[in-house]
Amino acid sequence: MIIIDSIMDEPLQSTISQSKAPALQFLINNGQYYPEMVSSFPTMSVVVDSTLLTGTYSDQHKVPGLVWFDTNENRFISYGSAQKEIRKLGIKQVLNESLFRLNHQHLSPNVKTIHEEINGQTASINTLMYRGNHTKPLNVPKIVSLAGLLKEDASIKGPNYFSYGLLSMINPTNKHKHVWEAFGFNDRFAADELKYLIEHNRLPTYTLAYFSDNDKKVHEKGVNVTKGIEDADKQLQKVLNEYPSWEGALKDTVWIVMGDSGQTDVLVHKEQALIDLRDLLKEYQIYKISGPVQENDQVVLGLNERMSFIYLLDETIFKENIINLLSRDDRIDNIAWQEGEKVNVVSSDYNGLLSFKPNGEYTDQYEQTWTIEGNAQILDLSMMNDKRITYNDYPDGLARLYSSFQSHSGNYLIVNAKPGYEFVGEGSPTHIGGAGHGSLHKQDTFFPMIIAGTELEPKYERIVDLKEWILRVLEQKNEQNQ
């Protein structure tokens, strides 16, 4: 399974039509193609990967976002969203969060990852989520341990084969790990690791590899850029070339190449494109991320590009006041909050309120049932006479949004930006004239998936259903080999 970060259907089809992605075209021609797989929410890599590996949304795996606030520990959590933010928080803190706490504490012990569940060897190559059953020592450079950033004897719990850039390599001679190559977090490094496993006949039962370079190009240039897809295809060609023929690669191995989420173009004019929540909520004392929470801090912003958590630390603040302030900005798509068992949603484009909770008389296309009251237009739901509902602009929107309110404790609202805009705060990344993701909208949500080597299909075209499907594929392969 190879994830090409932020690959989307239209630029992929454009690249193929120009004959610039022969490996991807070969897999599509010899397999099944799903152009609109549904990601998790928020559409940020750590949440998406957690859903992929556990087969659950964030209500169960408990990784809320790339950036969030832990009310139990009164701590601002970031796994590293932008250099400016990392500098403010400190490299040591971000490394500790992303390398250790993310997989070993924040990812719930009540769910099992694919690596923990598969009866056989597995591999993780450059993925942020990797929890497994084996203790794997890290290769900590002397300068890093001397600087006090990581302990020299640091280790993680991972799969049999664990690759994580410079810190852990499967191929001891992998050259693509220099500072100018993001310390190994690049497509060439990941492809080299995969090639090594194939070449030495050590490809395990399940391998997950991350090709991350395309994401950077889309963030910088926008959703129509194809250079990242072309480059990823070249690395995929090198992997397939390890076999006597590409057809031979499909003989005993199932290949899955997929994205993780979509992206949405951000407008080119800074003042128009960026929604500064600090300005909208300027009458409140907003927490500054460079230090601990202060006694007079009232609001914490957990910005995930085109989505944000807004935490209310001050119990005297009425949510209605916050909602009124946010509703003045028509670049905000919708505002949601929890009230008892229900989630309420409002939008500047529609009157009234939408309220919903699980279990009820309405059934969606994934056979989930809901109690729904109010204006269904707010989440663009199509309500049929037979009590069936279908999703339009917000795929699986009810389950994904509801799960986010069960992902962690705290008194918070969730806001999503309209296409063209993203939220900005202290140290957060911006993508003026490029693209961003994070929101519930379909443009941030849909990603393509190619399957070659099996006729089995996932139950639904959602990332949350892939773990169960992978286990079925492996079960079938085992039966065929017996």
> What is the rounded distance in angstroms from the CA atom of residue 91 to the CA atom of residue 403?
30
> What is the rounded distance in angstroms from the CA atom of residue 204 to the CA atom of residue 442?
34
267 vs 44, 198, 220, CA distance in Å? 20, 44, 12
> What is the rounded distance in angstroms from the CA atom of residue 377 to the CA atom of residue 196?
52
The pLDDT value recorded for residue 82 is 63
The angle subtended at Cα 323 by Cα 321 and Cα 328, nearest 5°, is 105
Residue 148, token pair as written in the block: 């006090």
Relative to beta strand 2-4, strand 255-258 is: parallel
> What is the rounded distance in angstroms from the CA atom of residue 451 to the CA atom of residue 32?
5
Residue 278, token pair as written in the block: 């600090």
Phi, psi (degrees; rounded to nearest 5) at 128 = -75, -30
User: % helix / strand / coil in the chain, to the nearest 5?
Assistant: 35, 25, 40
Residue 128, token pair as written in the block: 């942020």
The pLDDT value recorded for residue 480 is 79
> What is the rounded distance in angstroms from the CA atom of residue 418 to the CA atom of residue 439?
8
**Strands, sheet with 332-339, edge to edge from the N-terminal-most edge strand:** 299-304, 307-312, 412-417, 332-339, 342-346, 354-363, 369-374
> What is the rounded distance in angstroms from the CA atom of residue 68 to the CA atom of residue 316?
22
**Could you tell me the pTM of the whole model?**
0.95
The pLDDT value recorded for residue 81 is 67
> What is the rounded distance in angstroms from the CA atom of residue 314 to the CA atom of residue 237?
55
- Give burial (CB, 10 Å; 0-12/13-18/19+) of 426: middle
Residue 370, token pair as written in the block: 């809901």
> What is the rounded distance in angstroms from the CA atom of residue 365 to the CA atom of residue 247?
36
- Give burial (CB, 10 Å; 0-12/13-18/19+) of 363: middle
The pLDDT value recorded for residue 185 is 87
Sign of CA dihedral 39, 305, 431, 292: negative
Alpha helix stretches (DSSP H) within 227-386: 227-240, 246-249, 270-273, 277-280, 319-327
Could you identify the residue written with the tokens 């914490």? 300
Relative to beta strand 354-363, strand 32-38 is: unpaired
DSSP secondary-structure letter at 106? Answer: I
Q: Give the alpha-carbon dihedral of 450, 189, 155, 261, to 10 degrees.
A: -30
Is residue 203 within 8 Å of residue 211, measured between CB atoms? no
The pLDDT value recorded for residue 344 is 98
SS3 214: helix
Domain boundaries, the chain: 2-63+107-265+440-481, 270-433
Length of the chain: 482
Fill in the amino acid letter for 22. Answer: P
The pLDDT value recorded for residue 157 is 95
Could you identify the residue written with the tokens 């719930």? 108
> What is the rounded distance in angstroms from the CA atom of residue 147 to the CA atom of residue 66?
25
Residue 136, token pair as written in the block: 């794997």
Alpha helix stretches (DSSP H) within 71-157: 83-89, 91-96, 114-117, 142-146
> What is the rounded distance in angstroms from the CA atom of residue 110 to the CA atom of residue 119?
19
Alpha helix stretches (DSSP H) within 118-174: 142-146
Is residue 274 within 8 Å of residue 267, measured between CB atoms? no
Could you identify the residue written with the tokens 């519930």? 440
> What is the rounded distance in angstroms from the CA atom of residue 266 to the CA atom of residue 34?
26
DSSP secondary-structure letter at 180? Answer: G
Q: CA gyration radius for the chain?
A: 22
64 vs 44, 360, 402, CA distance in Å? 9, 26, 12
CATH dotted code for 2-63+107-265+440-481:
3.40.720.10
Q: What is the mean pLDDT of each run of 10 residues along the chain (482 residues)?
A: 97 98 98 98 97 98 96 90 71 80 95 95 96 91 79 90 92 83 86 97 96 95 97 98 96 95 96 96 93 94 97 95 96 97 96 97 97 97 94 98 97 98 88 96 98 95 98 87 72
Is residue 308 within 8 Å of residue 456, measured between CB atoms? no
